[in-house]
Amino acid sequence: MSELVGLFDLLAPFFGLIGLGFFCAKVVRRPEGGLVWMQFFLIYVALPCLFYKLIADKPLEQLANWPFVMATTLCTYCAFALSFAVGMWHARWHMPQGVMQGVAGSYSNIGYMGPPLVLSVLGSAASAPVVLIFVFDNLLLFSLVPFLMAIAGAEKRSLAATGRDVLWKVATHPFNLATLVGVGAAYAKLELPTALDKIVQWLSNAAAPCALFLLGVTVALRPLLTMPREVPALVTIKLVLHPLFVWILLSALGNFDPTWTYAAIVMAALPPALNIFVIATQYNIGVERASACVLVGTLASMVTLTAFLWLIKTGRMQADLFPG
């Protein structure tokens, strides 16, 4: 019982902030346009500072664990492929809709919830795997989506033009730029001046609460009118199959620190990211379905994520399925 109480104390602030944002959006009526500056603050200021702080003090050899990168990215791809197949079936082979469902079943909330939750559970030793999963899952999905949409005809440009646009967006994304700066700081063993370091620390501390509150507000502003038939299957892939893929593959490869394996499992078990709705809105495809996946996935993760954390914290889930 004490273990469950400890898990509740751990998770309650995360889901509590989401609930607070949801409640405020329902009670206090404000124009949705007011969220723009908060989104800007998160994406361009607070979260980049968080990722810089996660990386800057890490030995470079921790950030060059390529077997771990390939395994976790492959698992995300498998979740995407399975969700894409489910989406194609339910959308009667409408490829743009299938792509959106592929993202819904594979893209975890690795930016907003991932770092603070995993570090709270596993400690600072988990920061390197968290950063690697964040960077390479984003590289995978933000490359796959525009190319597949171009093939499907949703992008009104050639594949070459789409490719150039993808490369530019990847190279200039604030999260990736912060990661590169952090790697440079780790290589140079750079220490920021005290005043600047304090500002970066404050901003990184603000990232998680602002992001979770924003998630609750955004979900509240887009109520679920109908339940698309494929949502339960997509949520199951995201919350159950994806972390199991990670557990099995990392165990099969072996030789990973248990903290890294558990960090990867928790990152995969996170609910669908709010970015799914952003992508759907960008292409004006499957917006209602994306909103449903975020809402249902976030609610369902209160059970599934708690279960995975309980198994990890109590030692009932061993880090290596195939020891020896």
From residue 264, alpha-carbon distances to 98, 118, 217, 240 in Å are 26, 9, 28, 13
pLDDT above 80: residue 41: yes
- How would residue 153 be classed by pLDDT, with cut points 50, 70 and 90? low
Residue 197's pLDDT is 93
- Decide: 105 and 80 in contact? Cβ < 8 Å: yes
User: Is the CATH number of domain 2-313 1.20.1530.20?
Assistant: yes
Give percent of the chain above pLDDT 70.
Answer: 94
In this prediction, residues 160-180 reach a mean pLDDT of 76
Q: Where are the domains of the chain?
A: 2-313
User: What pLDDT score was predicted for residue 199?
Assistant: 95
For residues 25 and 144, the model is more confident at 25
Which whole number is the average pLDDT over 52-71? Answer: 84
Q: What is the pLDDT of residues 247-301, one digit of tens each?
A: 999 999 878 999 999 999 999 999 998 778 777 776 777 777 787 888 899 889 9
- Cβ atoms 11, 305 nearer than 8 A: yes
> How far apart (Å, rounded) are the C-alpha atoms in residues 67 and 59?
17
Q: What is the pLDDT of residue 208?
A: 80
Query: 286, 101 in Cβ contact below 8 A?
Result: yes
Token representation of residue 231: 């949502």
Q: Mean of the pLDDT values across residues 4-10? A: 76
pLDDT (mean) for 144-164: 71
Determine the average pLDDT of the residues in 47-54.
83
The residue ranges of DSSP E strands in 134-246, in sequence order, are none
In angstroms, the CA 308 to CA 184 distance is: 35
Instruction: Retrieve residue 215's tokens.
Output: 């998630």
Tens-digit pLDDT profile for residues 10-22: 788 888 888 899 8
Most confident of 32-36, 49-53, 221-225: 49-53
pLDDT in tens, 185-233: 888 888 899 999 999 999 988 888 888 888 788 778 776 667 778 899 9
Please list the residues that pair with 272 across neighbouring strands.
108
Render pLDDT for 100-109 as a digit per residue (tens, 0 to 9): 889 889 999 8
**pLDDT at site 156:** 61
pLDDT, mean over the chain? 85
Mean per-residue pLDDT for 106-134? 86
**pTM, two decimal places:** 0.84
Nearest Cα residue to 276 out of 290, 295, 286, 296: 290
Does residue 292 contact residue 232 with C-beta atoms inside 8 Å? no
